[in-house]
Amino acid sequence: MEGNSSTENYIKLCKICDLNVHKYLCPRCGIEYCSVDCYKSEKHSECSESFYRGCVEEELRFNEKDPETRKKMLEILQRMHEEHANDMEEIEELAQQELDSDDDEEVPDLSDRLQNIDLDDADSVWAALTDGEKQEFETLLRNGEMEKLLPPWKPWWSYRADTKLVEDLSKTSKAFDYKQNCPRIKDIKHYNEISKVPPAECVKNNILNVLHAYAFSALYFNGDHHNFPKEAISILIELSNNLRENEVFIQADLAIESVSQQAINCRSLVVDSENIVATKNALTCILQGPEDSNKYFYVKAAFSDLHQLFSKCIESSKLKNTSRSTSNEFSKRFPDHGAISATDIPRNKLKLYLKKIEYYLSWVESYGSNLYT
């Protein structure tokens, strides 16, 4: 048994076919092979062709004085060259045919490919992209240039009509423009119709707290908060102590600063000084309004937008979870694409939040001028 084992270990197979016992060594590269077929095989073609070429060239040198022999050697060498050239042309032709076949496959426009796809289902959207589009997305992600995928959002509250000494004939069209760009104002009952008790002085400060949290949430989602109502409301409630805990603010500056501190301390948010400054500037613009004659229009627009957001979230809570795509390639590749934590808020609690939004909206409609006193 030991003898057979040592014999088996001693036997070396052909390094080209790995089937037969080797018999020869290549004089150029030293590889062990078993037959002429293996020597001429594709695995060894680079070495064998150069070896044959070398032999022919050496033969030419030895027989350079014999014209007939030299002529035959030149013909052999030329034939070898032509065969090699024909092989290369065939390879290039096959490669070009493959490229041409790829070009012939017309890829539909992205809008057509996404026509019947749920855009909230990241895996389905990912599956509809071409390899080139996926590669471009991953390159932007690696380079930290994801903002290039997002069109710049100009908040509706950033418009401010110029103050002019002479009445501008286009004033009516300007007013129409900013009203069209804003969230639709929610029709609400007058404050006296919903409460017989005069509002407390602190209501305006509580409104500032909610308004500041709203501005942060809208900016954080680049104006796309209605496509992520659950996440946007989670952030809003996290930042507004008045909504979350019914905290009452005696001073306006404390109500505003409270939101900034909550944002900084929130673990699920990435917040820097630019976010804080941008949110405070947004609050200032909302409070200033589009023009002096309609000063708290943007405040009403903001609470109307909040009303739509909470209503959408309440409506979606009725629906059962819809089936998702069986392909979860995007989720596996980018597990943190839904990094913002979305708390499951009970439907009855969402309704209570909505009632408070309606109360504030009614207050603004009736007492909006008190915000500036």
Work out the average pLDDT over 30-59.
72
Query: Which range has the top average pLDDT, 17-31, 146-160, 253-267, 317-331?
Result: 253-267
Work out the average pLDDT over 59-76.
58
pLDDT above 60 for 84: no
- Kindly report whether the global pTM for this prediction surpasses the value 0.75: no
Work out the average pLDDT over 106-127.
77
What is the model's pLDDT at position 52?
58
What is the model's pLDDT at position 173?
45
pLDDT above 90 for 33: no
> Mapped to the 3 state alphabet, what secondary structure does the chain carry?
CHHHHHHHHHCCECCCCCCCECCEECCCCCCEECCHHHHCCHHHHHHHHHHHHHHHHHHHHHCCCCHHHHHHHHHHHHHHHHHHHHHHHHHHHHHHHHHHHHHHCCCCCHHHHCCCCCCCCHHHHHHHCCHHHHHHHHHHHHCCCHHHHCCCCCCHHHCCCCCCCCCCCCHHHHHHHHHHHCCCCCCCCCHHHHCCCCCCCCHHHHHHHHHHHHHHHHHHCCCCHHHCHHHHHHHHHHHCHHHHHCCCCCCHHHHHHHHHHHHHHCCCCCCCHHHHHHHHHHHHHHHHCCCHHHCCHHHHHHHHHHHHHHHHHHHHHHCCCCCCCCCCHHHHHCCCCCCCCCCCCCHHHHHHHHHHHHHHHHHHHHHHHHHHC
Report residue 211's pLDDT band, with 50, 70 and 90 as the boundaries.
very high
